[in-house]
Structure 1
Amino acid sequence: MKGVVIAGTSSSVGKTVATLAVLRGLQTAGYAVQPAKGGPDFIDPSHHEAIAGKPSRTLDPWLQDRDGMLHNYHRGTGDICVIEGMMGLYDGTKASTALIADQLNLPVILVIDASAGMESVAATALGFQRYAEHANRDITVAGIIAQRAHGGRHEAGIRDALPDDIAYIGRIGPDTALEIPDRHLGLHLGSENPVPTDAIDNAAETIDIDSIAEIAATAPITPISKSSKEHTQRTNTSIAVASDQAFCFRYPATIEKIKDQAEIIPISPIASDPLPDCDGIYLPGGYPERFGAELQASDTLAEISDRAADGIPVYGECGGLMALAESLTTADNETYSMAGVLPATVTMHDRYQALDHIEVTAAVDGPTATTGTTYRGHEFHYSSADTASDATFGFSMDRGTGIDGTHDGLLEYNSVGTYAHLHPETGAFDRFLSYCTQ
């Protein structure tokens, strides 16, 4: 599968809209596309899926290591993989779009805000191209997309100023229909506020899709250099997976991992679904704070509490941790009772409490790790958890904030609640699935 990276000069430059336009344009031209997202984000991929009709792959060399990232890339299907980068091209302390493009050996299309520039847009592109050598990144800035650019003299001035080895791929004109509303944790999800298809179609019309396909075709396919970490032996295990607007942050590879080994039974705690017979329960991240009343009244959470007390393994990830706590207090100072599995009370704040790539080491054996295991992950949360004085933690923080600055992975019964988002390439979900079969 060939590929191309859609990078930006900075955050909020319009990478997501440009990526959607490229995906749509390639589809219209008859190509089978595979969307992907550089970095640990859950929200941008939801917009990719709304356009492409298939899950967007997560590509992050910190979460997955290089070989794990290659493995995840090659699990995609299609003619061309379109990868939306993270932040600006070179930004990121532990992972960056430039590093992803380098390790995957893929060309870069740079998105530049051209709303107030012409020749300076070309100067910016040239600077980003030449900076690669200084940054020790073996990447090619092959072309640009001029975001928020008009046609006529504006477009011509940008195109004519570019050096010969940086292609003018096209422009995306100013259009309020292309604006995606945001909230804490990022943009609205694609399932909630998808960008209108006709607006994306209009944007794609001013992009040279043939040039995108030609640039993608120049990239050699980087092979997988390791044996897969996956354990594909099928078991009779069944895992209840929370899947609704409150629990919607999960990597496609996580679902694939569970499906490889067990049966998935989707449940909706906000709809108060009956909890089925199962061997384990997975509560991914999301927005439980938006559904406090529904979760407080949820028979599902009440049943999860009972099952957890009986010893069923439960894995709560960020939003899942919040739902497993004793209570959740929103930023509006409304307090709701939660499942009460974990000895903690959770409070939402107006400002994020942690945002970074992290590294943790298991302090004890638990549902997701054995003692001494080190995992890399990501955390991004607006809530804080106040834990009981005798609380047991599964992880010590080597990098990041976790629950109390030095620990994460709150343990009770056979349940764990953590702020860490872990990718299945770490092995955490293999451990959890194995734990569920004991």
Structure 2
Amino acid sequence: MKGVVVGGVSSGVGKTVATLATIRALDEAGYAVQPAKAGPDFIDPSHHEAIAGRPSRTLDLWLEGSEGMARNYARGEGDICVVEGVMGLYDGDGSSTAMVAEALDLPVVLVVDAKAGMESVAATAYGFREYAETIGREVDVAGVIAQRAHGGRHEQGIRDALPDDLDYFGRIPPSSDLEIPDRHLGLEMGAEAALPHEALSAAADHLDTERLVDVAREPPQVDPEPAGARTDATVAVASDAAFCFRYPATIGRLHERSTVQTFSPVAGDPVPECDGVYLPGGYPELHAEALASADTLTELGERAGEGLPVFGECGGLMAMSQSLSTTEGERYAMAGILPADVEMCDRYQALNHVDLEATSETLTARAGESIRGHEFHYSKASVDADARFAFETVRGDGIDGDHDGLLEHESLGTYAHVHAASGAFDRFVDRLR
């Protein structure tokens, strides 16, 4: 499957809108589009899925390694893959957009804010292309999409200024209908605030789909990963507006190796009969009252105390704690599995790729093993003096700056999100069986 990377000159330049318009344009031209996201994000992919109609693949060198990332790309389905970048093209030392594009040998379409420029758009694109050589990277900046560009003289001025070897792939016209609401972790989810299809179609009319298809390339082939042994384990996965940060590859791996049952703690669903529970991240702070009022977390706490393994990531850790306090000062009882009280803060407490070293046997790693993930959260956890940790943080902040992974009974809660390519979920399933 051929692909192209939609990179930006910076965060906030409009990569997501440009990516969604590109997906829409290719779809309307008759191409089956596989969306993907460079970096560990969960939110932008939800918007991709709302427009493309299929889950967006996660492409991150730090989380997956080069072969794991290439395999995850190859699992996609469609005629062409559109990869949205992360931050600015070269930003990030763990897995920048440029690093992803280079590893997969995909061309980059650079999104440049053209609101107040014409020749400067060309100069910016030229500089981004030439910068790759100065840092020793092979990054093919193929051309630009001009964000917030008008037609007529404005568009023609950008076209005329571009060097012959930088393509003009079109423009995204200014439109208030192409603005996605945001909150503390980023944009609102695609299921809540998907852009109107009519507005995206109007923007798509200004993109040159055939030129995009022409420059797209096929990544180098890699050998498929051997399938893991099927087990008789059943994993219950929380799935609702509070627990919505799940990688498609993770859910796919759990389905390959176990029976998966989903349930909604927000709706008060009973915990399914299972051998273990996975609580993904998400927004428990936005649904704290419903979680505290329902019986699900109470039941989960009781069953964890009886030995049911529960694995929670970030929002999952918050739900496993003794209490969750919001920025408005409201305090809600949670499952009470972990010896910690969590408090929401006005600014983020951690944002990083992380490297964790297991200090003891746990659900996702053996003692001495290292596991990579990422963290992004606005909460902080105050832990009891006798709390036990599963990991030392080689890179990242974790729970207390030096450790991550609270252990209690047979359960584990971390601030880190990990990908299936790390082997963590294979280890989880193997422990359950």
When the two chains are superposed, the root-mean-square deviation of aligned CA atoms in Å is 0.8
The equivalent of 2:359 in structure 1 is 363
Q: Read off the aligned partner of 2:366 and give its amino acid letter.
A: T
In structure 2, C-alpha distance between the alignment counterparts of 1:203 and 1:85, rounded to whole Å: 19
Structure-to-structure mapping, 1:5-404, within 5 angstroms: 5-216=5-216, 219-224=217-222, 228=225, 231-404=227-400
Unaligned runs of 5+ in 2: none
In structure 1, C-alpha distance between the alignment counterparts of 2:269 and 2:89, rounded to whole Å: 43
C-alpha contact (below 8 Å) 1:108/1:143 kept by paired residues: yes
Identical-residue share of aligned pairs (%): 60
Q: Deviations over 1:8-54 (max 9, x none)?
A: 00000000001001111111111111000000000000000000001
In structure 2, C-alpha distance between the alignment counterparts of 1:346 and 1:305, rounded to whole Å: 16
Q: Deviations over 1:298-326 (max 9, x none)?
A: 21111111111111110000000000000
1:234 is displaced (CA, Å) by 1.6
Aligned partner of 1:418 among 411, 414, 418: 414
In structure 2, C-alpha distance between the alignment counterparts of 1:221 and 1:289, rounded to whole Å: 40
In structure 2, C-alpha distance between the alignment counterparts of 1:291 and 1:128, rounded to whole Å: 43
Q: Which runs of 4+ in 1 moved over 6 A?
A: none
SS of 1:270 mapped into structure 2: coil
In structure 2, C-alpha distance between the alignment counterparts of 1:119 and 1:169, rounded to whole Å: 16
In structure 2, C-alpha distance between the alignment counterparts of 1:356 and 1:324, rounded to whole Å: 23
1:231 is displaced (CA, Å) by 4.4
1:221 is displaced (CA, Å) by 3.0
C-alpha contact (below 8 Å) 1:240/1:265 kept by paired residues: yes
1:220 is displaced (CA, Å) by 3.8
Q: Read off the aligned partner of 1:161 and give its amino acid letter.
A: A
Q: Read off the aligned partner of 2:248 and give its amino acid letter.
A: P
TM normalised by structure 1 equals 0.98
In structure 1, C-alpha distance between the alignment counterparts of 2:73 and 2:218, rounded to whole Å: 14
TM normalised by structure 2 equals 0.99
1:90 is displaced (CA, Å) by 0.5
1:276 is displaced (CA, Å) by 1.5
Unaligned runs of 5+ in 1: none
Aligned residues: 433
Q: Read off the aligned partner of 1:101 and give its amino acid letter.
A: A
1:227 is displaced (CA, Å) by 5.5
In structure 2, C-alpha distance between the alignment counterparts of 1:295 and 1:136, rounded to whole Å: 51
SS of 1:302 mapped into structure 2: helix
In structure 1, C-alpha distance between the alignment counterparts of 2:12 and 2:224, rounded to whole Å: 37
1:292 is displaced (CA, Å) by 1.0
In structure 2, C-alpha distance between the alignment counterparts of 1:3 and 1:266, rounded to whole Å: 33
Q: Read off the aligned partner of 1:23 and give its amino acid letter.
A: I
In structure 2, C-alpha distance between the alignment counterparts of 1:435 and 1:233, rounded to whole Å: 13
C-alpha contact (below 8 Å) 2:3/2:218 kept by paired residues: no
SS of 2:374 mapped into structure 1: strand
